[in-house]
Structure formats: structure tokens, C-alpha cells
Amino acid sequence: MNFKAIYYVNQFFGQIGGEDKAGMEPMFKEEAIGPAMGFNTLIKEEGQVIGTIICGDNYFNENKEDAMEFIMDIVKKHNPDVLIAGPAFNAGRYGMACAGLANEVNEKLGIPVVTGMYIENPGLDAVNGTAYVVEVSDSAAGMREALPKMAKLAIKLGKGEELGKPDVEGYLPQGKRLTVFSDKRGSKRAVEMLIKRFKNEEFTTELPMSVFDKVEPAPAIKDLSKATIALVTSGGMVPIGNPDRIQSASAQKWGKYNVANIDALKGNDFCTIHGGFDPVYANEVPDRVAPLDLLKQNEKDGVIGKVYDYFYTTTGTGTSVGKSVTFGKEIGQELKDAGVDGVIVTST
Amino acid sequence: MVKEIERYGIPVVHMSTITTISEAVGANRIVPTVAIPYPVGNPSLSEAVELDLRTKLVKRALTALTTDVSEVTQF
């Protein structure tokens, strides 16, 4: 049976208009429009584009909730096997729209999403591992090259097949890690790689090191005695019983706990679930990992204004960069909204 | 996580033992800590001495938060 695809484009590729139409509300047409037509031809043996959603780039980014309400209604009504968006090339608003709809459609409905973006499109950073993004050129001149690559992924996903690794299948790494079997044990592979390195021979790393961007240092707190300081840890300190079931490695979530009425993280109430270090000492005195006791003391002494009511925690070991970034963004948003002035993050 | 929180303009200090990781990732304010299983503690010390150690480390962290920096800085 042929799989169903729904295609999302902006006002320009949807052949409505240019910048003058960037504020248009989303519409759905039960036919393939613009790039969806060429795409439809590429998948015709196995699938079909049953309709195209067209939305203004400005409208999406300025009215995200309303735009998503419309899109989710259409998607729920037609129940496609795969959603295609873009390719957005280097168009930032378009890329953000593709990322936005991928995040919601994939997270809430579990429908796979395929899109295409130029490597510098800001939308790329906004995708939370919820879409398969094909790397495309920076302008629409690259459409002819982009569509077949996107179609290839869409066909597999539409048929319910799992995709393999990014470099094999042809999409950009999502910041995810996959466990696979190897014919040689790790120690042997590591030594072989090391020997090649010593001999200045070519070798391929099994895990490319992430490239980390710089963040402008935030300005220092001017008056500590009036400041609210929050405590965050990656040491996995949680209330005994781990009520939120935070993982011991490769954390998929973080937790927040009200510490307004306690003076310290006592061993009777807190423990660590972090699987990456010997927990004995942390379980005896959890403050050894997350020094709530000292922050509370500093508050009593008037050195700091206040300890923030909530303590944030997750497990650092084996947690992917992608997830860590997400946690940081989410926690950061809460702290910002709460007017926290400074943060201490402890790691084990 | 440290950097993502800092992106909101809130000063953050990273208290960590493996400072090379902290620096490579780009945390701006770093306080090197004691050991992986007990970053702000030391079970081989008496309670009083250990508390003193923790007091000093947290003091350094608070100093970091009240000090302007232009690049990765250890306190």
C-alpha cells in the first residue's frame, strides 16, 4: 500500500507570493504544490503526497501557536506516514518554521519528518533531534539536488523502515548516539587507532568530537547580598526513591525539587542515581556534590540574598550534547523567568 | 547546560573536577573541585575540616559570579 506524505512549504514555494505574502495564514490544498510536485514524482512508486500546507514565514514565526494548531489539525485528520518540509536552504524564518513544526509533529504524534537546510540555517539548531535534515545548498538553485536526497529518506520512513547512521543514509547528525555491534572489541580498536596516530597514519575517529561554540560571559552580579542564586547539578542528586525516574546514564530528563524549607541535602532525604561514579560518599552527604548547605548558610549570613526555591538535577554521564543543550535551555528559561541572578552548576 | 543557561544572560559558574572538559566546552567561570565522587567534599577529612573546605569552594564560586570575565577563567 502506498504511504501518505503531507508537504509543508512557505508562501513563496507555495506559489502564493513573495515577502508581501509572508504574513499569510496557513492553508491546506489537497494536491502537491511547488517542490511537492517534483517530490511526488520521485516517490511515486511507493508513496504519494496527499496535500500541501502553505504558510507565511512571518505568520508562522509570529503566531506559532495558531499556526501549529492549524497544522496539527490537518496532520491528525489526514494521518500521513511522513511529513516533508522545505527544503529551507538558508532562509532563516523558513528553517525555523520547518524546525518548529518538526518538533511538535514528531514529539506529539510520532510522525517522522524529513526536511532540508543549509548548514548555517538557524533552523538547524532549533531542531531537537525530531527531524531528519538533509544538508542542502544555500539557495533554491540546489532544489534539483535536494529533492532526491529527501525523497530517499522519506520513502524508507514512509514504509516504516528505520534509518541507519547519518553518514550512511545522508542526513545531518542529530546529536544522537546509537549502540552497534563491532567485530573487534573496543580495547583492540583503541590501540590500533593510537598506533596509527603515533605513526602519523590516517585514522577515522569513531566518535567525532563536537565543536563547541563560545557564549559571551554574562555580566557579574553587582550586589550579591540581594541576589537570588540557584543550584543545579549534573551529579544526579535526587530525592530518595527517584520519584521522577531520572536515568542513571544518558539522561532523558531533568528534575526540579523544592528546597525552600530545608537547610541541606541530607543523606536521609537525597541520594545519587548517577551511574558514573562511586555513590558512597555522595549518598552519605549529598551536599558533597550539590552544596545546598553552604548556599543556605550564605543566605543566613546575608552574603547572598536568597537561595532559589528550586534545585535542578540530572545525570551527566553518557548524556548526549544534544540532550544537555535542551536541558540547559529549558532550565535556563525557568531561571530567567524566575529572575534568578546567578547559578552554580556542579558536576561530578 | 552551563552555556545554555548563560545564554540567557545569567552568570553561571561551573564547579567541576575535570576542568579540561569544562574549558573545552567553553564554560566561562570555572571552579576546580576536589574529586569526581565528591566535588565539594572530602570524606577523608574530619567533618569540621570538610565543611571548611566546602565553605571555601562555595566562596570561590560566589566570587566568580561577582567577577566580570572576558574569557574562560578559573577561580
SS3 readout for A160-192? CCCCCCHHHHCCCCCCCCCCCCCCCCHHHHHHH
pLDDT of residue A211: 67
Domain boundary among A169, A197, A213: A169
**Taking the mean position of all CA atoms in its chain, how far away is CA A68?**
18
Q: pLDDT tens digits, residue range A254-272?
A: 999 999 999 999 999 999 9
Asked if A322 reaches chain B (Cβ–Cβ under 8 Å), the answer is no
Looking from the CA of A197 toward its CB, the CA atoms found within 13 Å total 8
| Parent domain of A259 | 224-346
Between residues A139 and A35, which one has the greater pLDDT? Answer: A35
Would you place residue A128 in the very low, low, confident or very high pLDDT band (cuts 50, 70, 90)?
Answer: confident
The answer for residues whose C-beta is within 8 angstroms of residue A147's C-beta and 6 or more apart is A35, A38, A39, A42, A87
Of A39-48, A139-148, B35-44, B52-61, which gets the smallest average pLDDT?
A: B35-44
Q: Please, what is the average pLDDT of chain B?
A: 92
Same domain as A340, residue A269: yes
Task: Answer whether B4 sits within 8 Å of A328, measured CB to CB.
Answer: yes
Are both A16 and A128 inside the same structural domain?
A: yes
Averaged pLDDT, A70-80: 97
Residue A186 placed within a domain? no
The answer to whether A304 contacts chain B (CB < 8 Å) is yes
Q: What is the pLDDT of residue A179?
A: 76
Residues of A (231-270) whose Cβ lies below 8 Å from B: 232, 234-235
Lowest-pLDDT range, A86-90, A183-187, B21-25? B21-25
Give the span between the Cα atoms of A247 and A239, in whole angstroms: 13
Please compute the mean of the pLDDT values over residues B23-51 and round it to a whole number.
Answer: 90
Q: A288 and B38: CB-CB below 8 Å?
A: yes
Do residue A129 and residue A12 come from a single domain? yes
Domain residue spans of chain B: 2-73
Same structural domain, A165 and A244: no
Give the H/E segment covering residue B12: strand B12-16
Q: Is the complex ipTM more than 0.95?
A: yes
Question: Are residues A291 and B54, on separate chains, in Cβ contact within 8 Å?
Answer: yes
Beta bridge partners of B30: B14, B74
Residue A199 placed within a domain: no
Q: Which of A86-100, A201-215, A307-321 is predicted least confidently?
A: A201-215
Picking from A224, A232, A332, the nearest residue to B66 by CB comes out as A224
Question: Based on the domain organization, do A152 and A229 belong to the same domain?
Answer: no
Q: Could you tell me if A301 lies within 8 Å of chain B, comparing CB atoms?
A: no
Asked if A246 and A321 sit in the same domain, the reply is yes
pTM for this predicted structure: 0.57
Is A174 within 8 Å of A164 (Cβ atoms)?
A: no
From A234, A295, A340, residue closest to B1, measured CB to CB: A234
A184 touches chain B (CB under 8 A): no
| Count: domains in chain A | 2
Which of B2, B4, B5 to substitute to test the interface with A, most A CBs within 10 Å? B5
Q: Across the interface, do A282 and B37 touch by the CB < 8 Å criterion?
A: yes
Structural domain ending residue among the three candidates A169, A185, A210: A169
- Asked if A217 lies within 8 A of B67 by C-beta distance, the reply is no
Residue of B nearest to A322 (CA): B1
Shared domain check, A14 and A135: yes
Same domain, A10 and A156: yes
